[in-house]
Structure formats: structure tokens, C-alpha cells
């Protein structure tokens, strides 16, 4: 019976964004849909049980409402939880086999996949809607024993790793959106770096939300085994859309003894138009666990898009001598709202964390830095340094800083600084006097303001991000 239903659904057509045919699970959130997703992805029983357990939990959980940016209630029964480009049922083995229309879409976004393969030393695992479409540079990585594939593939090929680590950093019952993701996640990236291996290239994924009304629920799992190193890049763009779209991804990082993970994000999803209509809801759970001794996790993010950004990439410093870092630039313009920051949980001895956050708000936007530094009783000799600066442009926007600081250990030190200011007239005058237009001057000053964070990004991203900073603030001066 169910087989028949699925067959029917495959033929189900809906308004498409590009002409690529999608097929979708029926609207709504229920056990059937979860079983459907699991089935179509040919998942083992344990994963289905795991999903259903999350779904049971979801029934009890309430959507959080403590955040600063409020949004209209989301009707979870009115969303599609699965959609996949149809032509991908049989996975292509090389880029040449890709749907030409899809390639064109990427080109419009400035991600020439073909060229990138040749020119850049980057392996691209592109996610179009919810299913991985292409993975490049695979051979080079396989040589080193590095696993870099979609999580669905990992479930098939490396079930022992997925089973061991999935949900260990973000537990099933963590909070509403994380649990929702656990129940219905469709795809995402999986990275495993074997012991004592340095990943030879920056790993990168471009996410893109395409289908209308589709919440995208990715799941990323990165494991750096003992003594390994990996740098992972994530970048996002999304096309114009009138209705708000929900994006609730889960990202889990695990660093074992002496391992280091560097996770960089450039997020430039559709922020809504000038009147605040439309735009993406970016409610993402990102958490890293420094499990082993001497491990290190570093988050770098440049957040310029989305109607509402609500995320706190966090580090749990469990291993002794582990290090957590968080570098962030968040820019809001027009009616955008952001509530972002980090959590540094010091559990192990001699753990260190550093937080540098730069917030820029312009137009009628609202920006909040919210962070937690928690030093446990046993975390002797731990230290934290936090600096969060805000820049305001115009008197219709807001900038807020809400740090929570908990120190339960007398050997540990915490230092926190925050400032809020505006671009001074002198600086602007000086730049304009040297022949820059007011917009160029603002862009220059803002880039200087952000420099500390921008220089943390890998080269390829830094240039792009710098441009993005300027573009995001267009029209905010004068």
C-alpha cells in the first residue's frame, strides 16, 4: 500500500523554482513522512528508530520563545520535509553527467563548479535542496583515507562511524529545532579524518535553498580523529522568495586528542526585501565537542543574509588543555534580525576560549550578541577572553549585548569587554577627503572594524567575504 503511495508521490508536481523536477514528501509532519524519508534514503532500522524517537520527543517539546527577534508562528504541518531533484535518482559519477540547468544555477550564484574543480584546490560537495549532487576531488581524499561524502552515503558505507558519533554532541532531545532536525533531516555532509592526517585541502560545501515552502534540514557531522586537522568551509546563497523559509540545520563537530577542526561559514541567504517581506529563517544548531586532550575547535562566521539569524556555534571543552575559538561578523540591514553568539563550556582543566564578535546594524535592523561562558568547578586554570563590539548606522536600528558569565573556579580567569559606537565623522571625512565616495569610505571603515575576524577566514573566502561586507551595507549611508 505504502509503495503505491510513494509511487504516486513521485509523480506529484508542484510550482518549481527552476525547471528541474522535484519530488516531495507530502506536506506535514507525522510518522508517515519520517518513515517515507527514511525509506527513500534506504536507511537502516536503527536510524529510523532514532528518528522516530526524536519525533516522540518533539511532541513534548515546546518551541523556544526567549529570543529577541520574534517571528510569526510557523505551521510545521504546512511544510514539505523532503524534496529531491528527480534526475538524481541515479547518482551521477562525474560533473559532466549533471543536469545542465542545475549547473547554470550555480553559475549564476558565482560558483562555477567545473572551473572550480580545475582552478581551485577545493573539493565541493554541493547540496541542491536536500540531496548531494556532486562530490569532487574524491580520489585525492580517498588516497589519504579521508571520508568526505553526504551523510546518506556515510550511513550506507560507514554505518559504524555514524552510529558511534551521530547525536553525541547535539543529543536527540536537546531543544525544539535540534530535535526537529533529528527527526526529519534529509542530507548534509559527513567528514572523517583518520588519525595523524592533515587534510590536504579546504573542504567546502555550498548550500542552496531552492524549492518553495521547503524547510531544509541538513545534518553535518565532522570527526577529526587523533592528531588530525581539517578546515571546513560552508557558504550559502538563496534565490528571491516571498514566503519565509525555515532552515534548521544541525552541525556536530568532534575533535579527539590533539585534533583540530576549523569551521568557517559565509552565510548570505535571501534576507527579505527592503520592507522586510520574505527571507530565510536561519535557526541552526552548531556545536563542537573538544573530546580529547589538546584538541581545538575554531568557528568563524560571516553572517550577512537571512531575515532572522538565530544561532550560537558552541564549544564544549571537555578534554584537558583544549581550546575553543569563535570569530564572528554579523551584519544586519533593512529589516533583518540577528540573535547570535556562542557558548563556551569549560569542563576540562587548562581549557582556553576566545570570543571575538563584531556586529554591525544598519537600516531598521536589530542585532543581538548573546553568549555564555561557563567555567565548571573542575576546570582549573581555564581562561576566557571575550570581546564584542557593535557598530550602529542610523537611529532606527538596535544593537544589544547579552553575555552570561559564570565562573565557578577560583583558578580561572574570565575577561569580557564590549563596546558600542558609530562610525565617527572624522574617519568619514578623512576618507572622503582622499577621494573616496561615502559608500566606499563606510565599506573601508567597516572592513577595518571586521579585520580581526576576516583574517581568520581561509584565503578564498576572505576575498569573497570582504566584498560581501561592502555589498550588505549598500544603501545604508546618507
Partner 1 sequence: MEKKIITDFENMYKNSSLNNELKFRKEFLKKFIEKGFPSKKLESWKFSDLNQIINKNIEKLIFYNNSTKSHKIDESLYLNNIEHNKMVFINGKLEEIKLEHEDNNKIKISKETKIENNSFKDNALLDLNNAFSVYNYKIHVENGYNVKKPIIIYHTTNKELNSTNINIQLNFLLGENSSLKVIDTFNDISDKNFINIYYNFDLKKDSVLKNFKLDNLINNNIKYSFNNIDQDTNSISETFILSNGSKFLKNEINCNLKGKYSSAFVNAIFSLSENRHHEIKTNINHLVENTKSYQLIKSVLDNSSKSVYQGKIYVDKDAQKTDGYQLSKAILLNEDSEFNAKPELEIYADDVKCSHGSASGSLNENSIFYLRSRGLNYKEAKNLLIKGFLLDVIEKITDDEIKNIIKFTMGLSG
Rule CB under 8 A: which of 81-140 touch partner 1? none
Nearer to partner 1, 181 or 390 (CB): 390
Kindly report the backbone phi and psi dihedral angles of residue 383, in degrees, each rounded to the nearest multiple of 5, phi listed first: -145, 150
Selected range binding partner 1 among 31-39, 57-65, 110-118, 418-426, rule: CB under 8 A = 418-426
Interhelix angle for 438-454 vs 425-433, to 10°? 110
The answer to whether residues 396 and 364 touch, using CB atoms and an 8 Å cutoff, is yes
Selected range binding partner 1 among 139-147, 165-173, 389-397, 442-450, rule: CB under 8 A = 389-397
User: Where does residue 85 rank: exposed (0-12), middle (13-18), buried (19+ CB within 10 A)?
Assistant: buried
Grid cell for residue 100: 545542465
Question: Cα–chain-centroid distance for residue 76?
Answer: 21
Nearer to partner 1, 159 or 394 (CB): 394
Q: Given CA atoms 462, 467, 471, 473 in this order, what sign does their dihedral have? A: positive
Kindly report the backbone phi and psi dihedral angles of residue 95, in degrees, each rounded to the nearest multiple of 5, phi listed first: -60, -30
Rule CB under 8 A: which of 47-86 touch partner 1? 66
Cα dihedral: 302, 387, 336, 270 (round 10): 10
Nearer to partner 1, 206 or 376 (CB): 376
3-state secondary structure of 223: strand
Cα–Cα distances (Å) from 288 to 90, 132, 141, 395, 441, in that order, read: 34, 23, 23, 37, 37
Q: How far apart are CA 379 and CA 382, in angstroms?
A: 6
The answer to whether residues 88 and 131 touch, using CB atoms and an 8 Å cutoff, is yes
Nearer to partner 1, 112 or 276 (CB): 276
Q: Cell 543574509 identifies what position?
A: 305
Selected range binding partner 1 among 27-35, 263-271, 413-421, 452-460, rule: CB under 8 A = 413-421
Q: Is 409 in the site for partner 1 (CB under 8 A)?
A: yes
Site string for partner 1, 329-368 (x = CB under 8 A): ----------------------------------------
Q: Which of 348, 399, 357 is nearest to 377 (CA)?
A: 348
Shortest spacing between CB 342 and partner 1, in angstroms: 15
Selected range binding partner 1 among 7-15, 288-296, 299-307, 420-428, rule: CB under 8 A = 420-428
Q: Is 407 in the site for partner 1 (CB under 8 A)?
A: yes
Selected range binding partner 1 among 72-80, 146-154, 265-273, 385-393, rule: CB under 8 A = 385-393
Exactly one of 37, 147, 191, 397 binds partner 1 (CB under 8 A); that residue is 397
Exactly one of 179, 186, 365, 390 binds partner 1 (CB under 8 A); that residue is 390
Nearer to partner 1, 419 or 432 (CB): 419
Q: Is 394 in the site for partner 1 (CB under 8 A)?
A: yes
Selected range binding partner 1 among 15-23, 78-86, 194-202, 386-394, rule: CB under 8 A = 386-394
Rule CB under 8 A: which of 213-272 touch partner 1? none
The answer to whether residues 71 and 246 touch, using CB atoms and an 8 Å cutoff, is no
Largest Cα span, the chain: 75
The residues, ordered by sequence, that sit 6+ positions from 67 with a Cβ below 8 Å of its Cβ are 310, 339
Shortest spacing between CB 477 and partner 1, in angstroms: 12
Rule CB under 8 A: which of 300-319 touch partner 1? none
Q: Cell 548550500 identifies what position?
A: 207
Selected range binding partner 1 among 43-51, 110-118, 182-190, 399-407, rule: CB under 8 A = 399-407
Exactly one of 249, 399, 442, 469 binds partner 1 (CB under 8 A); that residue is 399
Exactly one of 400, 428, 452, 460 binds partner 1 (CB under 8 A); that residue is 400
Nearer to partner 1, 315 or 391 (CB): 391
Shortest spacing between CB 312 and partner 1, in angstroms: 15
Shortest spacing between CB 310 and partner 1, in angstroms: 17
Give all strands (DSSP E) within 333-412, no chain letters: 337-340, 343-346, 352-361, 366-375, 383-392, 398-407
Shortest spacing between CB 387 and partner 1, in angstroms: 10
Exactly one of 6, 402, 436, 444 binds partner 1 (CB under 8 A); that residue is 402
SS3 content of the chain, % helix, strand, coil (to 5): 25, 35, 40
Task: Give the angle 330-151-317 at the CA atoms, nearest 5°.
Answer: 55
3-state secondary structure of 172: coil
Selected range binding partner 1 among 183-191, 328-336, 397-405, 440-448, rule: CB under 8 A = 397-405
Shortest spacing between CB 440 and partner 1, in angstroms: 20
Question: Cα–chain-centroid distance for residue 413?
Answer: 30
Q: Is 404 in the site for partner 1 (CB under 8 A)?
A: yes
Cα–Cα distances (Å) from 307 to 66, 267, 269, 440, 459, in that order, read: 18, 12, 8, 25, 28
Shortest spacing between CB 363 and partner 1, in angstroms: 11
Nearer to partner 1, 196 or 421 (CB): 421
Residues in contact with partner 1 by the rule CB under 8 A: 66, 377, 390, 392-422
Amino acid at each position: 500500500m505504502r509503495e503505491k503511495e510513494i509511487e504516486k508521490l513521485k509523480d506529484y508536481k508542484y510550482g518549481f523554482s527552476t525547471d528541474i523536477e522535484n519530488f516531495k514528501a507530502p506536506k506535514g509532519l507525522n510518522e508517515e513522512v519520517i518513515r517515507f524519508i527514511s525509506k527513500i534514503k534506504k536507511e537502516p532500522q536503527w536510524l529510523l528508530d532514532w528518528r522516530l524517537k526524536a519525533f516522540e520527543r518533539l511532541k513534548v517539546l515546546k518551541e523556544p520563545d526567549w529570543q529577541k527577534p520574534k517571528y510569526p508562528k510557523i505551521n510545521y504541518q504546512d511544510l514539505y520535509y523532503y524534496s529531491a531533484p528527480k534526475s538524481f535518482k541515479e547518482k551521477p559519477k562525474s560533473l559532466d553527467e549533471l543536469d545542465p540547468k542545475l549547473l547554470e544555477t550555480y553559475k549564476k550564484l558565482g560558483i562555477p563548479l567545473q572551473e572550480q574543480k580545475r582552478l581551485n584546490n577545493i573539493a565541493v560537495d554541493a547540496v541542491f535542496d536536500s540531496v548531494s549532487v556532486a562530490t569532487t576531488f574524491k580520489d585525492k581524499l580517498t588516497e589519504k583515507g579521508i571520508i568526505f561524502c553526504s551523510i546518506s552515503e556515510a550511513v550506507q558505507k560507514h554505518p559504524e562511524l555514524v552510529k558511534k558519533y551521530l547525536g553525541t554532541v547535539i543529543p536527540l532531545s536537546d531543544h525544539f529545532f535540534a530535535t526537529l532536525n533529528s527527526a526529519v533531516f534529509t542530507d548534509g555532509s559527513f567528514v572523517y579524518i583518520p588519525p595523524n592526517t592533515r587534510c590536504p585541502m579546504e573542504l567546502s560545501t555550498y548550500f542552496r535553498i531552492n524549492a518553495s515552502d521547503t524547510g531544509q534540514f541538513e545534518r553535518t557531522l565532522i570527526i577529526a580523529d587523533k592528531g588530525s586537522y581539517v578546515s571546513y568551509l560552508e557558504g550559502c546563497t538563496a534565490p528571491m522568495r516571498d514566503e519565509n523559509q525555515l532552515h534548521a540545520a544541525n552541525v556536530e563537530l568532534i575533535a579527539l586528542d590533539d585534533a583540530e577542526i576549523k569551521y568557517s561559514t559565509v552565510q548570505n541567504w535571501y534576507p527579505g526585501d527592503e520592507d522586510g517581506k520574505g527571507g530565510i529563517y536561519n535557526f541552526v544548531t552548531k556545536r563542537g565537542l573538544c573530546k580529547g586532550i589538546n584538541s581545538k575547535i575554531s568557528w568563524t562566521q560571516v553572517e550577512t543574509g537571512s531575515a532572522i539569524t538565530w544561532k550560537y556555534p558552541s564549544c564544549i571543552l571537555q578534554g584537558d588543555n583544549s581550546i575553543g575559538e569563535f570569530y564572528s561578523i554579523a551584519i544586519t540591514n533593512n529589516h533583518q534580525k540577528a540573535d547570535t553568539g556562542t557558548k563556551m563550556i569549560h569542563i576540562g582543566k587548562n581549557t582556553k576560549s576566545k570570543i571575538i564578535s563584531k556586529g554591525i546594524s544598519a537600516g531598521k535592523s536589530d542585532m543581538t550578541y548573546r553568549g555564555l561562558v561557563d567555567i565548571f568547578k573542575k576546570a582549573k586554570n581555564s581562561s576566557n577572553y571575550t570581546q564584542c563590539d557593535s557598530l550602529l548606522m542610523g537611529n532606527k536600528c538596535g544593537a544589544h549585548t547579552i553575555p552570561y558569565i559564570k565562573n565557578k573556579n577560583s583558578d580561572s580567569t574570565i575577561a569580557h569587554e564590549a563596546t558600542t559606537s558609530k562610525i565617527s565623522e572624522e574617519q568619514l571625512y578623512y576618507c572622503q577627503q582622499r577621494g573616496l565616495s561615502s559608500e566606499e569610505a563606510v565599506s573601508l571603515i567597516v572592513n577595518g572594524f571586521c579585520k580581526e575576524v576576516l583574517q581568520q577566514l581561509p584565503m578564498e573566502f576572505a576575498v569573497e567575504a570582504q566584498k560581501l561586507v561592502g555589498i550588505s551595507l549598500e544603501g545604508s549611508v546618507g
